[in-house]
Amino acid sequence: MSGKLKEVRERISSVKSTQQITKAMKMVSAAKLRNAQNAITQMRPYAQKLDKVIKNILSNIDPDEGSSYGEERELQNAAVIVITSNRGLAGAFNTNISKEAYKLYEKYESLAKSGNLTFYFIGKKGFDNLKKRIPGATLNTEYLDLFNDLSFENIANVADSMMEKFSSLDLDRVDVCYGEFKNAAMQNPIAVQYLPVSKAKGTAEEGKKSNADYIFEPGKKELLESLIPSILQTTFQKFCLDTQASEHGARMTAMDKATENAGELINELKISYNKARQESITKEILEIVGGAAALNN
């Protein structure tokens, strides 16, 4: 019985140590989330407005006057950029983004079989989840450690590289899989078309109604070739900052739940310990009473 009591005491001590770790990780993630959330909430309206402006412009000008970044081509080469975190313990956050990326693999599987599909990974978890599940696709780990330093300069380098490959016809389409931050408890895994730049959705009649009389200086094509890369850099930065905030929110929620579960387990173990201790005391009393009765007889 004493062995059982010792085992339960050790388990209680172990779970308490784990609870302290999860509680500390929750507090760290909460502090990081505050900064990451401020960054994305301040940037998101700006990025969304720029995206809307460029889509409306491309929808209201002649194709010959548009930017090469909006050119729809026959799909021969495609790329998928998977943005995840470098660390786990964030619930199903990284797994859900990887699932969205895998759906794109299934969509472009014919390109993968011919060696014309490339996966770019930002963050190690996406690479770990997919490296054995996407046969035929080229796995590019050039930007694997970028998630450690999401400065605008580093992010812009990735965006510029994708734009260069698209302009030189090395890629006909680029999709991005990332985690869209809603709040600390909700993060949506999303796959979006990055290149070519999609035009504003709507009917032809709606397009005529919203057609604006834009004045371009020095000229449409020259301005768009300069403006669109800046907007695409900003858009890609939004993807990365969204994912960063989502990671901290997911980890904070996961660690909060883990701390709560540890507390429940400790309570159950304490009940088991008290029961075992009571059984031990009762057994000892019975032995004493039995011994006393034997002596009297």
More confident residue, 210 or 112: 112
Is 10 inside any structural domain?
no
Is 212 inside any structural domain?
yes
Rounded to an integer, what distance in angstroms lies between the CA atom of residue 199 and that of residue 60? 9
CB burial readout 222-251, b (16+ within 10 A) else e: eebeebbbebbbbbbbbbbbbbbbbbbbbb
Please state the separation of Cα 214 from the chain's center in Å: 38
Is 117 inside any structural domain?
yes
Is 31 inside any structural domain?
no
In tens, the pLDDT along 40-63 reads 988 888 888 888 877 777 776 665
Give the CA count within 13 Å in the CB-facing half-sphere of 157. 9
Is 210 inside any structural domain?
yes
Range picked from 118-132, 218-232, 271-285 for highest mean pLDDT? 118-132
Domain of residue 212: give its range.
59-251
Is 124 inside any structural domain?
yes
In tens, the pLDDT along 75-133 reads 999 999 999 999 999 999 999 999 999 999 999 999 999 999 999 999 999 999 999 99
Is 279 inside any structural domain?
no
Query: 137 near 118, Cβ under 8 Å?
Result: yes
pLDDT greater than 80 at residue 219: no
Is 66 inside any structural domain?
yes
Q: pLDDT-based confidence at 204, cuts 50/70/90?
A: very low
CATH code of residue 98: 3.40.1380.10
Question: Structurally, how many domains does the chain consist of?
Answer: 1
Return the sign of the alpha-carbon dihedral for residues 183, 184, 187, 192.
positive
